[in-house]
């Protein structure tokens, strides 16, 4: 089976390829010649995943899945949420995003947060949605050099270390993206 994963993000592609069974050939947006940035204009994580999957299906004709992920912080009323990648500006700078997040939380005691991933699958004229959530907290200093984005400051519940201190296999077992993709893979395996 051939599926397009609507992403240009090479880190996400590596994570997902590690989770997929061998019989699914994964193509990226680069592989199908989609060089444009797909607009993410929804005010929900689920809505943005749907927009991206529909764009690829309608414009390029491929069966496709798309994800959107956001970090939702309780003390910030769910921010950065759908703006997670662009929290500190349109250039999607992970370091600047983490710096802004830590600054916003500087005097806050409640550091509870959750990562949420929504995956929209457009397959043979049907659409399905899969969601994964990983609850945790934002720590006060960055730790670890693995992963990307907010991984160095996100410590999942029941763990003493951040996503950036975990290897990919360990992170995939508990992460929001891992949970959502396992639900997708279970569906595709039926």
- What single string gives the DSSP state of each residue in 109-156? S--EEEEEEEEEEEETTEEEEEEEEEEEEE-SS---SSS-TTGGGEEE
Can 90 be counted among the known catalytic residues?
no
Q: Which of 30, 43, 68, 91 is catalytic?
A: 68
State the Cα–Cα distance between residues 185 and 189, nearest whole angstrom. Answer: 6
Q: Is 49 helix (H, G, I), strand (E, B) or coil?
A: helix
Name the one residue in this structure whose structure tokens are 């990648």.
85
Identify the sign of the CA torsion 48, 97, 71, 176: positive
What amino acid positions are annotated as catalytic residues?
A: 68
């Amino acid at each position: 089976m051939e599926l397009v994963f609507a992403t240009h993000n090479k880190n996400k592609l590596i994570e997902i390829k590690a989770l997929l069974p061998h019989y699914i050939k994964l193509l990226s947006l680069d592989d199908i010649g989609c060089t444009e940035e797909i607009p993410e204009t929804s005010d929900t994580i689920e809505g943005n995943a749907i927009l991206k999957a529909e764009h690829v299906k309608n414009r390029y004709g491929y069966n496709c899945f798309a994800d959107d992920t956001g970090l939702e912080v309780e003390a910030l009323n769910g921010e950065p949420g759908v703006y997670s990648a662009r929290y500190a500006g349109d250039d999607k700078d992970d370091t600047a995003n983490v710096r802004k997040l830590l600054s916003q939380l500087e005097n806050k005691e409640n550091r509870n947060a959750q990562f949420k991933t929504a995956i929209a699958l457009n397959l043979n004229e049907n659409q399905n949605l899969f969601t994964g959530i990983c609850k945790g907290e934002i720590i006060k200093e960055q730790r670890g050099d693995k992963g990307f984005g907010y991984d160095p400051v996100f410590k999942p519940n029941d763990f003493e270390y951040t996503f950036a201190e975990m290897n990919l296999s360990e992170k995939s077992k508990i992460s929001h993206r891992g949970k959502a993709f396992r639900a997708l893979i279970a569906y595709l395996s039926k």
